[in-house]
Amino acid sequence: MVTIREISKKANVSIATVSKVLNGKPGVSKFTADHVLSIARELNYRPNLNARSLKKGQSQTLGIITEDLTVFNTPDIIDGIDVYCESQGYHYILSNLRLNKRYGNHPDDIDIKECTKLINSLTDTLLSKQVNGIIYIGCHSHAVVPTKYSNEIPFVYAYCYSTNPKIPSVMYDDQKAAFEVTQLLINKGHTHIGVIAGLRESIHTTNRILGYQEALYTNNIPYNPRLTLYGNWERDEGYYLSEELIKAGVTAIFAHNDLMAIGVIDYCNKHGIQVGKDLSLFGFDNREISAYCHPTLSTVSLPLFEIGQHATRLMLDILAGHNIEGGLKIMLPCSIIERESTGLPVSKEKNKSEESHETRS
Amino acid sequence: MVTIREISKKANVSIATVSKVLNGKPGVSKFTADHVLSIARELNYRPNLNARSLKKGQSQTLGIITEDLTVFNTPDIIDGIDVYCESQGYHYILSNLRLNKRYGNHPDDIDIKECTKLINSLTDTLLSKQVNGIIYIGCHSHAVVPTKYSNEIPFVYAYCYSTNPKIPSVMYDDQKAAFEVTQLLINKGHTHIGVIAGLRESIHTTNRILGYQEALYTNNIPYNPRLTLYGNWERDEGYYLSEELIKAGVTAIFAHNDLMAIGVIDYCNKHGIQVGKDLSLFGFDNREISAYCHPTLSTVSLPLFEIGQHATRLMLDILAGHNIEGGLKIMLPCSIIERESTGLPVSKEKNKSEESHETRS
DNA sequence: AGAAAAAAGTTAAACGTTTAACTTTTTTAA
DNA sequence: TTAAAAAAGTTAAACGTTTAACTTTTTTCT
């Protein structure tokens, strides 16, 4: 390892001078600076960031705790964090809870006590590594486990509704998205719109139903609670619940995620109901599958990358002591993607390849 | 920040004693140790890992460079690394190239020069952070950009064929998987098996064709080059190429990824050909979509998690100076997943939900 | 030319650890 | 009862930086 000491020897200056040059600090002549720089380059010098952060008491590093890295939302959020960090000269360290692997994906299966312990231990490690702040990326609908460290180090929650009003969070706007989906269906002439909701206890479910009701209300359509059925986010549930809705006479279904919407498509295909013609269908999440099923599925695209970026901006603002613009709870809008399942003319779907994600094997 | 100095003051011992206690080193009485430990706990002491690694010249940290975090294979590989690192008391730092975001997913679009620069800069940063080794996670079929740092720090390549024989790599066995797929189709009585291959220049394509040919040869079936068509890994290509193969009289198609296989399904559905009955179909990759399409798609599941684990084991073995068991190039087997598209009785598919990934929105 | 001011450069301590070398205390054994 | 051995504990230097305080050199101004 080449150190500034070696550079200073070779350049015949003190290590302080080398340090100044390397950090672009004043108090050294251009001649000397060039000389030092050229030697540093020649020796292939690389600063020891650990030593620097030790001395400065500032690591320029954020910690990221992910509830589960392999869940579809997480990588894009990290991508957003990555880009923003890079632009600001920040680094980050990842820590992964592997919640789904440990407990499966039903909120009731989670052992909160064990989970809290786990989070605390990850947080401890991050603090040991001198991170300046921690971004917590959720993946579940269950309420986030509260942290006891929130006054030791700044926290920002991403992709989850934080229960602690003092902890900032960045989330997408479930209610607004649901409102827009419903409004769109109403604009197409639907008045009997069924909902295949998520788990009853999920805050996503609650907010999406609120948005749905709001749109009905705005358009003077009475809310019929029998047209809102609760599912478990799985495909099969979409399959079975669609039968009930269709028998109740709905002309459109808003499923709270793409997987349940696929179930609806399966049911319809089996029973000769043409989705996109006899029935309009919306999903939620814009999973890859929604672009490949038949008919292709209209859905809601989540601003994952933006959530990552905003969470990071928020964190860096907090660390810099800025007063936080836009408040502590940021809600980002989703975008609505119309495809064949809501009767989009097929021609418009020609260039759907632009929406496909990674395709290489 | 609580330091060992504060503990030593409060406990009335030297900092050396505190250090010994905290590290479980000998030369301190049980009485003193307990005393120190209780004070450390009381003060909520957390070691400064940066300071420790500075002194020890050993960070217990690996660097990970991902070509693209948002590509389907990457998160599971990281999961494997995470688990293995955790079990060995190692940490890791992630660095993301965002190759797809920068260049799209066609190998020819990559600016190798710029890309090399990028990798070098990420590697530089990792070295500055004193990582002990770097695991490189590929995602593309193009050859991996060689690194100039391979004699400064140990590298292990994961999910890519390294061209440098001195750099260890962990990969899944394309050829063996293709052999097994083909053998399975032959066992079902097929002799005219078409291939919708990946890009001609991809090493995956080459190896999968080799496995296919090997199986034909083993079973005394002549190889007909006209039944192997090259695609571009995209769905549409699967759609168009299937026409040619079906006209040539194949009774089974082996597509080199699930996306192109979906294209085949689409073609067949449109032309009244029953996949799983009139035609047997295999994909590759076990993307989520393969479990949700109609009919469900037989495919090859990649040992992603295991690749991560093995890469990490390999790296830690190298760092520990062990002689590497299993050699420097590790090939892990894939597993074959049979579903409806190869004529599996529908009953067997009842509990397919166990295969679904994350389903929560 | 010479004093004052500005610029260039150096010294040394510090960040929080670990650890080799040392000293003091306790235990063992004849 | 002692001397030797073992155990317990301390001192001080080091890891690679940064930076406040200082000294030396150069420039500016009269």
For A139-167, the pLDDT digits (tens) are 875 666 778 898 899 999 999 987 788 88
For B155-195, write each residue's pLDDT tens digit: 999 999 877 888 899 999 999 999 999 999 999 999 999 99
Contacts 24+ apart (CB under 8 A), A50-55: A50/B50, A50/B51, A50/B53, A50/B54, A50/B59, A50/B129, A50/B130, A51/B50, A51/B54, A53/A130, A53/B50, A54/B48, A54/B50, A54/B51, A54/B54
* Phi and psi torsions of B278, nearest 5°: -75, -30
Residues of chain A with CATH 3.40.50.2300: 58-167, 174-302+336-349
Q: CB-CB: which of B53, B198, B289 is closest to A292?
A: B289
Taking residue A33's Cβ as centre, other Cβ atoms within 10 Å add up to 18
3-state secondary structure at position A355:
helix
Residue A76 and residue A310: Cα distance in Å, rounded? 13
Residue A287 and residue A323 in contact, taking contact as beta carbons nearer than 8 Å: no
Query: What's chain A's Rg over C-alpha atoms?
Result: 26
For A295, residues 6+ apart whose C-beta sits below 8 A from its C-beta are A265, A275, A276, A339, A340, A341
Q: CB-CB: which of A48, A70, A234 is closest to B359?
A: A234
Taking residue B72's Cβ as centre, other Cβ atoms within 10 Å add up to 24
Residue B33 and residue A258: Cα distance in Å, rounded? 57
For B100-141, write each residue's pLDDT tens digit: 888 776 667 778 888 889 999 999 999 999 999 999 999 875
Q: Could you say which residues from 226 to 265 on chain A have a Cβ atom under 8 Å away from some Cβ of chain B?
A: 233-236, 256-259, 262
CA-to-C1' span, B17 to C22 (A): 14
Residue A350 and residue A336: Cα distance in Å, rounded? 18
The owner of tokens 């960031």 is A49
CB contact under 8 Å between A360 and B101, yes or no, is no
Residue B326 has pLDDT above 70, yes or no: no
Q: Binning pLDDT at 50, 70 and 90, where does residue B354 land?
A: very low
Q: Binning pLDDT at 50, 70 and 90, where does residue A263 land?
A: very high
A174-302+336-349 under CATH 3.40.50.2300, yes or no = yes
Tell me what pLDDT residue B359 has. 40
Q: CB-CB: which of A83, A293, A361 is closest to B285?
A: A361
Tell me what pLDDT residue B321 has. 86
For A298-347, write each residue's pLDDT tens digit: 999 999 999 999 999 999 999 998 877 666 889 999 999 999 999 865 44
Q: Binning pLDDT at 50, 70 and 90, where does residue B324 land?
A: confident
Q: How far is CA B189 from the centre of its chain?
A: 33
Q: Which residues touch strand C (CB under 7 A)?
A: A 12-17, 20, 26-33, 51, 54-55, 57; B 1, 3-5, 15-16, 19-20, 22-23, 25, 45-48, 51-52, 54-56
The owner of tokens 């990028």 is B118
Q: Binning pLDDT at 50, 70 and 90, where does residue B348 land?
A: very low
Residue A159 and residue A73 in contact, taking contact as beta carbons nearer than 8 Å: yes
Q: How far is CA A229 from the centre of its chain?
A: 27
Residue B148 and residue B120 in contact, taking contact as beta carbons nearer than 8 Å: yes
CATH number of A58-167: 3.40.50.2300
Among B91, B102, B81, which Cα is nearest to A79's? B102
Q: Which residues touch strand D (CB under 7 A)?
A: A 1, 3-5, 15-16, 19-20, 22-23, 25, 45-48, 51-52, 54-56; B 12-17, 20, 26-33, 51, 54-55, 57
For A36-90, write each residue's pLDDT tens digit: 999 999 999 999 999 999 999 999 999 999 999 999 999 999 999 999 999 999 9
Residue A144 and residue A204: Cα distance in Å, rounded? 13
Q: Which amino acid is at B307?
A: I
| Angle separating helix axes A30-42 and A4-11, nearest 10 degrees | 120
Section A250-258 average pLDDT: 97
Domain B174-298+338-355, CATH homologous superfamily name and number: Response regulator (3.40.50.2300)
Tell me what pLDDT residue A348 has. 42
B60-167+304-333 under CATH 3.40.50.2300, yes or no = yes
Share of chain A above pLDDT 70, in %: 92
Residue B229 and residue B240: Cα distance in Å, rounded? 11
Residues recorded for chain A: 361
For B222-249, write each residue's pLDDT tens digit: 999 999 999 999 999 999 999 999 999 9
Residue A356 has pLDDT above 80, yes or no: no
Residue B143 has pLDDT above 70, yes or no: no
Q: Binning pLDDT at 50, 70 and 90, where does residue A95 land?
A: very high
Kindly write down the DSSP assignment for every residue of A59-73, as one continuous string: --EEEEEES-TTSTT
CA-to-C1' span, A20 to D29 (A): 30
Residue A358 has pLDDT above 50, yes or no: no
Residue B96 has pLDDT above 50, yes or no: yes
Protein fold of B4-47: 434 Repressor (Amino-terminal Domain) (1.10.260)
Q: Binning pLDDT at 50, 70 and 90, where does residue B316 land?
A: very high
Tell me what pLDDT residue A99 has. 87
For A173-195, write each residue's pLDDT tens digit: 999 999 999 999 999 999 999 99
Taking residue A244's Cβ as centre, other Cβ atoms within 10 Å add up to 14
For B153, residues 6+ apart whose C-beta sits below 8 A from its C-beta are B123, B127, B131, B132, B133, B134
In chain B, residues with a C-beta closer than 8 Å to the C-beta of A292 are 235, 259, 262, 289, 293
Mean of pLDDT over chain B: 91
Residue A243 and residue A271: Cα distance in Å, rounded? 10
Among A45, A50, A43, which Cα is nearest to A19's? A45
Residue B146 and residue B162 in contact, taking contact as beta carbons nearer than 8 Å: no
Residue B292 and residue B261: Cα distance in Å, rounded? 13
Section B30-57 average pLDDT: 96
Section A225-241 average pLDDT: 95
Residue B263 and residue B30: Cα distance in Å, rounded? 70
CA-to-C1' span, A284 to C12 (A): 63
Query: Residue A309: exposed, middle, or buried by beta-carbon count in 10 A (0-12, 13-18, 19+)?
Result: buried
Q: What is the 3-state secondary structure (H, E, C) of chain B?
A: CCCHHHHHHHHCCCHHHHHHHHCCCCCCCHHHHHHHHHHHHHCCCCCCHHHHHHHHCCCCEEEEEECCCCCCCHHHHHHHHHHHHHHCCCEEEEEECCHHHHHCCCHHHCCHHHHHHHHHHHHHHHHHCCCCEEEEECCCCCCCCCCCCCCCCCEEEECCCCCCCCCCEEEECHHHHHHHHHHHHHHCCCCCEEEEECCCCCHHHHHHHHHHHHHHHHCCCCCCHHHEEECCCCHHHHHHHHHHHHHCCCCEEEECCHHHHHHHHHHHHHCCCCECCCEEEECCECCHHHHCCCCCCEEEECCHHHHHHHHHHHHHHHHHCCCCCCCCEEEECCEEECCHHHCCCHHHHCCHHHHCCCCCC
- Sign of the CA dihedral running B133, B137, B143, B144: negative
* Phi and psi torsions of B25, nearest 5°: -85, 155
Residues of chain B with CATH 1.10.260.40: 4-47
Among A146, A300, A275, which Cα is nearest to A208's? A300
CB contact under 8 Å between A96 and B105, yes or no, is no
DSSP state of A189: T
Residue A134 and residue A116: Cα distance in Å, rounded? 16
Structure tokens belonging to residue B116: 């090399």
Residue B63 has pLDDT above 60, yes or no: yes
Mean of pLDDT over chain A: 91
Query: Residue B186: exposed, middle, or buried by beta-carbon count in 10 A (0-12, 13-18, 19+)?
Result: middle
Tell me what pLDDT residue B201 has. 87
Lowest mean pLDDT across A225-229, B6-10, B102-106, B281-285: B102-106
CB contact under 8 Å between A78 and B98, yes or no, is no
Distance from CA of B202 to the nearest CA of A (A): 10
A207 touches chain B (CB under 8 A): no
Residue A259 and residue A249: Cα distance in Å, rounded? 22
Residue B283 and residue B299: Cα distance in Å, rounded? 4
Section B131-152 average pLDDT: 83
CB contact under 8 Å between A359 and B129, yes or no, is no
Query: Residue A3: exposed, middle, or buried by beta-carbon count in 10 A (0-12, 13-18, 19+)?
Result: middle
In chain A, residues with a C-beta closer than 8 Å to the C-beta of B47 are 128
Residues of chain B with CATH 3.40.50.2300: 60-167+304-333, 174-298+338-355
Residue A279 has pLDDT above 50, yes or no: yes
Cα atoms in the Cβ-side hemisphere of radius 13 Å centred on B270 = 12
